[in-house]
Amino acid sequence: MQFGVSTFLWKSPFTSHSFDLVQKIKGMGFDIIEVAVEKQELIDWARLKELTKAYELQVTVSGAFGADRDISSDDPAIRENGLKYITDCIRIAQDMGSPVFGGPVYSAVGKTRFIGESQKKREWDWCVENLIKAGRVAGDCGVLVGVEPLNRFETDMINTADQALALVKDVASPNIKIQLDTFHCNIEEKSIPDTIRKIGKDLLCHIQANESDRGTPGTGNLDWTGIKQALTEIGYDKAIVIETFGEVSEEIARAASIWRPLANSSDQLAIEGLAFYKMMFS
């Protein structure tokens, strides 16, 4: 296993002024820095690539999906912008050596409504159409796109692994797979270990192993032993990443409903979370 941590734990948005995190994350003992791409133009990607290579840190890339990046929107211009953002991030992932680009690629975070079946069908079809296009780009770039289910309070579209599996089946691209965040799974799934088994090695491309309250891994109520057993059974050998939020921006606070500190400090959460990962998964 390779263990990583998201830049979200310290900075939102992550910018060129945040590059001291590379040395910090390496010094803590992580294998991977997961770069959250909120505003790609604020990051000197060439310099970041040099730094991560110098510190021998691998990179994974995650997305941030606001209302203007919604590939299932009623507005064609927003759908187009969302697809452009996804394809831009796929190309960034390729250049940075990230095997994956993941997140709630299907919609905007915070888009929660009660809508009729006909509207659901339209939005689903728009999403599939755009993910087929994104899948072609991902195939050309050698990158996997991870469809991440979110909990019911953050999206009304893909809450469960079953819904993600249905979407991936309709898209039918070898480069569109599923990533899991155990925080969301803890709300929506009956059993996280059974969910991992259901998705299986071929489709599970990335895991953000977050605690039940988004705090330090190992301090909440998740069935970590069951999760470890399921990952071992399917032969998962990719990244396990902490993705939670320390220095919370107004946009992140609204999207993730984080109104209080999740640990004494971001550094403490990272250090203790990594120690738990190594104890549990190594």
**Can you list the alpha helix ranges (DSSP code H) found in the chain?**
20-28, 45-54, 76-96, 117-141, 161-171, 182-188, 192-203, 224-234, 250-256, 266-281
C-alpha angle 145/132/70, rounded to 5°?
70
Distance CA 193, CA 185 (A): 10
Q: Establish whether 123 is a catalytic residue.
A: no
200 φ/ψ sector (left φ>0, alpha ψ -120 to 50, else beta): left
β-strands 176-181, 144-147 pairing: parallel
**Residue type for position 66:** G
Q: What is the DSSP letter of 37?
A: E
Distance CA 258, CA 253 (A): 5
- Which member of 148, 154, 188, 211 is catalytic? 148
For 102, residues 6+ apart whose C-beta sits below 8 A from its C-beta are 60, 61, 62, 63, 145, 146, 147, 148, 179, 205, 206
- Which member of 123, 188, 211, 243 is catalytic? 243
Q: Establish whether 243 is a catalytic residue.
A: yes
Active site residues: 148, 243
